[in-house]
Structure 1
Amino acid sequence: MFGQPTSPRFRAVLAGTLSAGLIFSVAACGGSDDSDSDTTTDASASAIDCSPYTKFGDIKGKTISIYTGIVTPEDTPHINSYKPFESCTGATVKYEGDKSFETQILVRAKAGNPPDLAIVPQPGLVKQLVATGKAVVAPDEVSANVDKFWGKDWKAYATVDGKFYGAPLGASVKSLVWYSPTDFKDAGYTVPTTLDELKALSDKIAATGAKPWCAGISSGDATGWPITDWMEDFMLRLYGPEEYDKWVNHTIAFNSAEPTAALDAVGAYLKNDKYVNGGLGDVKSIATTTFQDAGLPITEGTCFMHRQASFYAANFDKKTKVAEDGDVFAFYLPGKDASSKPVLGGGEFVVAFADRPEVKAFQTYLSSDTWANTKAKLSSGWVTANKGLDPNNLTNPIDKLAATILLDPATQFRFDGSDQMPAAVGSDAFWKQATNWITGQDTKTTVDNIEKAWPK
């Protein structure tokens, strides 16, 4: 995010999903959590092909530092996923997790004290780090892996002025709708495959007197961010990835015809009293309902659908079975037709600040299908868009769903738009004006005010 490395939305999401201890149980997700010691031991000890790293010479005894915002307990599967590389090469990886990473990595880079590698969660922050002059262009081996295992869109996010700086790592899918498979079956509803079918289903549910949707955007200082995801999803679906890119990059104005219509399309759901806010109140209740609580009425039978990213699974009670045949699950938020597959999401990139042989070797490992599958065996709640991933290595049903979407050849992935916009827009005006919009402000005033916030 340009000028906004601290990502208050990320902190709010993380705090919200972890504070109450609402993490998947083994029964709920059909797999293990990140701290499962047995899985960790088995997967991290598995043998891998060491030949890709011999070209970097003898690096035994060398140390590579990696810095990230991924902290305890989520750091455990990362650390264990490095063990096969360490066994192959004799090198040691020094892991440093820091909740203040997104601020401190810029401070350290500018001060000339960066780590060897950093796991960077936003394309905008990648660009900021390159601008410090301390980031190092990725080696040919990493570039080749990315060409093989990722789409061109992913490579472009870490390419600055024609130079490629960092391989993608993890990924997330935001284009999901949570629902109850049991309630759908009992009511005779089917999962929609087009936007028209989604609208028809919403009308069908509303005709019974029930509320098809529940939503909430309260998130402390980050209140309003869920609406930005809704708008980005509809911008992608109604106008396609190219127009979406123009909007995000301000090639077209925020208040031009297409984004204005996209927000109105969101309003057809979120500002429709017949559709919302099941189990929570009227339209205005969306502003005061926390995003953590917003989808819970699905399990109470007071709403049928909730649009939110894959991470939302952590907010359900640990006794809730999250599975295709469970209490709750999710389906892909459909496109205009069944053949198009625009996907909104997020991800991470590994950026280097050193070009020593051992650093290049570790970068190569992290950009490989070998690492992706090793990590998959160790983690619940983690996926990647690496095409070499075997989805069977994922134990969590939601992870498998997300991976299936990410790895679909028809998928047109786009990174979260507000995370790419200038901070004055993406994490300020967009959030605040979206909140005003849901409480009664008209669409034109909303998009006009956001446009005025765009830096000149």
Structure 2
Amino acid sequence: MRRSTTRRLAMAATLGLAGVTLAACGGGEGSGGDDVDEALSSVDVACEPYQEYGDLEGTSVSVYTSIVSPEDQSHIDAFIPFEDCTGVTVEYEGSRQFETQLPVRLESGNAPDMAYIPQPGLVERLVTDFPDSVFPVGEQAEANVDEYYNESWKGYGTVDGTYYAAPLGANAKSFVWYSPGAFEENGYQIPETWDDLMALSEQIASDHPDAKPWCAGIESGNATGWPATDWLEDMMLRTAGPEAYDQWVEHEIPFNDDQVVEALDQAGQVLKDEKMVNGGLGGVESIATVPFGEAGLPILDGSCFLHRQASFYQANWPEGTNVAEDGDVFAFYLPGDDPDEQPLLGGGEFTLMFADRPEVQALQAYLASPEWSNAKAKVSAPGWVSANSGLDPANLKSPIDQLAYELLTDEATEFRFDGSDLMPAAVGTGSFWTGMTNWITGEDTQSVLDSIENSWD
């Protein structure tokens, strides 16, 4: 896994690092003799931030994740400064069977040194099921989280009062995609409240009888229904508020509480109204069969004007689509009832250690540092963002990523993690997904919420 000095030289130039010469940083093994060493020594690499990790030459750390090719390459490339300045070798392994295989490996005593965990709920299950295999976050990593992250991120990695999982990447889900050109042509303004958004929807329906204000799709193979769960979660944050949202996710109030009924009915103002959806795709019931990745595309031909989906949806626009504030498509923050409040639904990954050797703790600290976030941003395609406040947003590749970062790090933002990722799996990725699909295809609000409540163990 260690790269040749030629590869490292190219990546150092890409990352634009500056400071102490690479050859002086402990990453001096090479494959090209004196000529390569001389060329390498001419490239400045900032190793000062890595000195706190000490000399780790000759050690290695295995990392197991669900992120596979081609998305894995930017993760692998972002290890390079850490490897070259500390002497550690990072052995990256991505697997499409990650969530089923990780517990098997822990059970058999074949644990990786570290894993990237995509949901806090999985962190809790692993800590509960394998208490002797999981280690708390190291001191250096915890110090980075305390300094550079909103405090809510630390809470999502904590189980029974012990801090186990440090944040890695992030995403923002509370967005509405639209066409800036269509808005300008029709004189539409970005809404600041939910009432403004619904008034805009009514205006679009009146102005464009051959189109629909909204388009939506929740088909996603075995995960069909998850985009609709995001709708309910966003509405809960806006109608009931973050505190009630937390109680709902923790089942301190029932899934079918009156506040949840109100939130789902508010989502229904869009998703259950034939006048509002499904532009260019069919009627309300078509939402259940339209692939989520294709659902927003009618914005491009004017069949619909609005599509609620996360920042990562930018990867689904056809090649050549200009995603920008004055481009073919862009997104605005999904408003609530009060323009002075800014709840934000999102997600992300966490690092969890199954070994507490110094080099493993050092890698976890690096992954929670501004150095990693900036290196990762520089080698990533559009669609990746971090909630680390030490990230320079200029390094992010798209305006949507920069907008997501602005919201994720804004002190006024009340960030909440995707609720289905926090709930027990039987509910969050089970009855919740199927229940929301049933709701779209005709089942009433109360019946759906009652059914999900009854499924909660």
Q: Which moved more, 1:180-189 or 1:360-369?
A: 360-369
Q: Which has the higher contact order (CA 8 A, sep 6+)?
A: 1
Structure 1 residue 65 corresponds to structure 2 residue 62: yes
Structure 1 residue 447 corresponds to structure 2 residue 444: no
Aligned residue for 1:324, secondary structure, equals coil
Matches within 5 A, 1:274-285: 274-285=275-286
Contact 1:179 1:329 in 2 (8 A): yes
Residue 435 of structure 2: which of 433, 440, 447 is its match? Answer: 433
Residue in structure 2 matched with residue 304 of structure 1 by the alignment = 305
Residue in structure 2 matched with residue 27 of structure 1 by the alignment = none
Residue in structure 2 matched with residue 327 of structure 1 by the alignment = 328
Residue in structure 2 matched with residue 129 of structure 1 by the alignment = 126
Aligned residue for 2:116, secondary structure, equals strand
Matches within 5 A, 1:218-297: 218-297=219-298
- Letter aligned with residue 77 of structure 1: S
Using structure 1 for the length normalisation, give the TM-score.
0.89
Q: Which moved more, 1:424-433 or 1:162-171?
A: 424-433
Q: Which runs of 4+ in 1 moved over 4 A?
A: 37-41
- Letter aligned with residue 422 of structure 2: Q
Residue 107 of structure 2: which of 107, 110, 120 is its match? Answer: 110
Tell me how far 1:75 sits from its aligned partner.
Answer: 1.1
- Letter aligned with residue 115 of structure 1: P
Q: CA RMSD in A?
A: 1.7
Tell me how far 1:192 sits from its aligned partner.
Answer: 0.9
Residue in structure 1 matched with residue 27 of structure 2 by the alignment = none
Tell me how far 1:186 sits from its aligned partner.
Answer: 0.3
What is the count of residue pairs matched by the alignment?
419
Listed as ranges, the gaps of 5+ residues in structure 1 are: 1-36
Residue in structure 1 matched with residue 314 of structure 2 by the alignment = 313
Matches within 5 A, 1:187-206: 187-206=186-205
- Letter aligned with residue 13 of structure 2: D
Tell me how far 1:52 sits from its aligned partner.
Answer: 4.7
Structure 1 residue 402 corresponds to structure 2 residue 404: yes
Residue in structure 2 matched with residue 211 of structure 1 by the alignment = 212
Deviation readout 1:199-236 (Å, 9 max, x if unpaired): 11111112222411011112222222111000000001
Contact 1:44 1:80 in 2 (8 A): no
Taking the aligned partners of 1:100 and 1:177, their CA distance within structure 2 comes to 32
Using structure 2 for the length normalisation, give the TM-score.
0.89
Contact 1:77 1:378 in 2 (8 A): yes
Larger radius of gyration: 2
Structure 1 residue 167 corresponds to structure 2 residue 166: yes
Tell me how far 1:38 sits from its aligned partner.
Answer: 11
Contact 1:81 1:375 in 2 (8 A): yes
> Is the alpha carbon distance of 1:249 and 1:372 closer, same or farther for their aligned partners in structure 2, counting shifts above 3 Å?
same
- Letter aligned with residue 203 of structure 1: E
Aligned residue for 2:422, secondary structure, equals coil
Taking the aligned partners of 1:188 and 1:52, their CA distance within structure 2 comes to 50
Contact 1:44 1:83 in 2 (8 A): no
- Letter aligned with residue 154 of structure 1: W
- Letter aligned with residue 14 of structure 2: A
Contact 1:44 1:82 in 2 (8 A): no
Residue in structure 2 matched with residue 14 of structure 1 by the alignment = none
Aligned residue for 1:222, secondary structure, equals coil
Deviation readout 1:62-115 (Å, 9 max, x if unpaired): 111111111111111111111111111111111111111122112112222211
Taking the aligned partners of 2:14 and 2:167, their CA distance within structure 1 comes to 22
Aligned residue for 1:330, secondary structure, equals strand
Percent identity, please.
58
Taking the aligned partners of 2:259 and 2:360, their CA distance within structure 1 comes to 45
Q: Which moved more, 1:180-189 or 1:321-330?
A: 321-330
- Letter aligned with residue 312 of structure 1: Y
Residue in structure 2 matched with residue 423 of structure 1 by the alignment = 425
Deviation readout 1:373-418 (Å, 9 max, x if unpaired): 1111111210000011110111212211211111111111111111
Taking the aligned partners of 1:151 and 1:408, their CA distance within structure 2 comes to 9
Taking the aligned partners of 1:195 and 1:373, their CA distance within structure 2 comes to 35
Contact 2:15 2:375 in 1 (8 A): yes
- Letter aligned with residue 451 of structure 1: E
Structure 1 residue 182 corresponds to structure 2 residue 181: yes
